[in-house]
A and B are shown apart, each in its own frame.
Chain A
C-alpha cells in the first residue's frame, strides 16, 4: 500500500483499517471485564454448566446484595471500607510527610541535609516485596497485625513523592520566598499560604496515583490481615475461592471483582488529565 496524496494520515479504506485495529484492541481490553460483569448478573447454575451466557442476566441486584451484605468470609462492604481507608491513608500520609520534608530540604540548610537526601534516594530502589519478611516482623512486633496502621505505614516509607515535590519546589520562583521573608512571614506561613496553594495540581495528580497504588496492594494485606474482617477487597477475592474440590460461588466472586475495580477505574476516568500528569511526572 503506497500512500500517495494522503501523505501521513490515512483516508478511505486505510482509515477504516486503522479504526478496525483500534477497536480490536479495545475489545481485547474489554472482553475479560465484560465476562466478569455478565457472570455477576446470572445465577450459579448458568455458570457451572458451560458455556455461560454472553449477555447479562437478571440477578444483578441479588448477587451484588449478597456480596456486599454477606460475602463469603466477610461482607464485601466491609472489605471496601478497609480498602478505602488503606488507599486514602497511604495517599494522604505519603503526601503530607513528603510535602513537609521536601519543604525542609529545599528551603532550609540544616545539619545532615545531604545525608537525609541520599537516604531517601536509596528508598526509591526497594519495593516492599523485597523486604517482606523483616517488615512483617517489625509490624508484628508493634502489635500492628490486623490494623489500619499496619496496612498503611510500611507502604508510605518510600521517597518517590518527596522527590517529586522537591523537583516542583525548585521551580518555584525565589522572589516569592524573598517577598514573604521581607514581609516578615514565618516559614510555615509561607508554606501554608503560598507553597501549598501553588502545589494544588501536583498534590491532586499524586493523590490519584497513590490512591490507585494503595487500593491495588495485594501481597502486603495478604500477609498482615489474617482476620477476614480486616481483609481488603483486592486480596479478599482470592480468599473467597473454596479450598479443595468445592465449587466456587462465581456470581458473588465476580460481583466482588467488579466492585474491587470500580473505585480506581472511576478515579482514572473522572480525573484522566490529572492521572496522566501524575503518571508521567512520578515516573520521570
Chain B
C-alpha cells in the first residue's frame, strides 16, 4: 500500500527519522550485534583479552547438562503458564458471554490485574505461600500438608506458574471475550434450535470459530512466559531450588551478571534470539492466513 499524495523534500524526512535511527542503532542493533559477536569468544577471567572459539560456546552449551535442564524447565514452565492462564480465561469468557446483562461489569472486574507487574504479582504470591508467615501455607499445614517451595522444586515450579498465569488471565479473557462476541448469535441459535446442547455447540461451532484468537493468544502467551516472567522468577525463587525454576531468560541473567560468564551468556542470548524470531515468524504467517477461515 502506497500513498498517492506525497510531500517533496529529502532532508526533512531524513531529519524526521533521525531520532529513531540513532536510538535504535545505539541501543538495539549495536547491542544485538555485540551479543552475536561476543558469543564467538571466551574472555579471560580478568577481561583483558579474549579468545576466538567459533561456535565453541554453543557446542559447550548444548552439551551442558544444566543448560539442557533449563531448556526443559522453560518448556514445562511456559506450557503450564499458557495452558492455565488460557484455560481459566476461556472458561470465564464463555461464562461472561452467556450473560445478556452484566458482562461489562465482570470485564471491568477482571481486566485490571493486567496492570499488575509480574514482579509485584510474584511478591503477592510469595507472601501467601511464604514458608513462615504465608496464610495459604498455614492453612495447608492444618490440612496436614507441609508446603515448602524453598526446598521442593515441584512446589516452586507450581508457585511460579500460578503467579505468572494469574496476572495473565485478564489479558486472555479480554481477547477471548471479544472473539466470542464476534461470533454471530444466529449461528449459535440455529444450532440450539437443532437441539445441540451447550457442550456440543461449543465443541463444533464456537471453538473452531474462535481458533484465530486462540492461536494468536497461544503465541503471545508463550512469548510472555519465555521473557516477561523474569520478575516472577526473580522475586519468588531466584531460579531455585537447585535450578528447578531457572528458565532460559533467568539463566542469561544469572550467567551474565551474577556469574560473569559473558561468552556463554551471549551465546544464550543468540539462542533465545533464534527462538523469538521463530515465534514471531510463526505468528505473522498464521495470523495473516487465519487459522480457521
By a CB distance below 8 angstroms, the chain A residues around B23 are: 97, 153, 156-157
Are B227 and A127 within 8 A (Cβ)? yes
Contact partner of A130 (CB less than 8 A), chosen from B17, B92, B269, is: B269
Q: Within residues 136 to 194 of chain A, which ones have a CB less than 8 A from any CB in chain B? A: 136-139, 153-154, 156-159, 162, 170, 174, 177-178, 181, 187-188, 190
Q: Which of A22, A97, A127 has the most CB of B within 10 A?
A: A22
Contact partner of A170 (CB less than 8 A), chosen from B3, B223, B230, is: B3
Nearest to A154 among chain B residues (CB) is B27
Size band of the B side of the interface? 35 or more
A129 to B225, CA, bound (A): 12
By a CB distance below 8 angstroms, the chain A residues around B192 are: 3, 7-8
By a CB distance below 8 angstroms, the chain A residues around B28 are: 123, 126, 131, 154, 157-158
Are B235 and A238 within 8 A (Cβ)? yes
A144 to B1, CA, bound (A): 41
Contact with A along B248-268 (1 / 0, CB 8 A): 010011001100001001100
By a CB distance below 8 angstroms, the chain A residues around B249 are: 129-130
Minimum distance in angstroms from A125 CB to a CB of chain B: 5
A96 to B20, CA, bound (A): 9
Are B24 and A25 within 8 A (Cβ)? no
Which applies to chain A's interface (DSSP): helix, strand, loop or mixed? helix
Minimum distance in angstroms from A130 CB to a CB of chain B: 5
Lowest 7 A-B CB distances belong to which pairs?
A134-B34, A216-B117, A264-B115, A108-B13, A218-B231, A134-B31, A104-B13
Beyond A111-B10, A264-B116, list 13 extra A-B contacts (CB 8 Å): A9-B98, A19-B99, A101-B17, A104-B14, A107-B6, A123-B24, A125-B276, A129-B272, A131-B35, A131-B273, A216-B231, A247-B132, A257-B120
A98 to B124, CA, bound (A): 36
A11 to B196, CA, bound (A): 17
Are B119 and A126 within 8 A (Cβ)? no
B residues at A contact (CB < 8 Å): 1, 3-7, 9-10, 12-14, 16-17, 19-21, 23-24, 26-32, 34-35, 38, 88, 91-92, 95-96, 98-100, 102, 106, 108-121, 123-125, 127-128, 132-135, 137-139, 166, 169-171, 174-175, 178, 185, 188-189, 192-193, 197-198, 216, 220, 223, 227-228, 230-231, 234-235, 249, 252-253, 256-257, 262, 265-266, 269, 272-273, 276-277, 280
A188 to B12, CA, bound (A): 9
Are A138 and B27 within 8 A (Cβ)? yes
Minimum distance in angstroms from B231 CB to a CB of chain A: 4
A10 to B95, CA, bound (A): 10
A21 in the interface, Cβ–Cβ < 8 Å? yes
Contact partner of A26 (CB less than 8 A), chosen from B16, B110, B189, is: B110
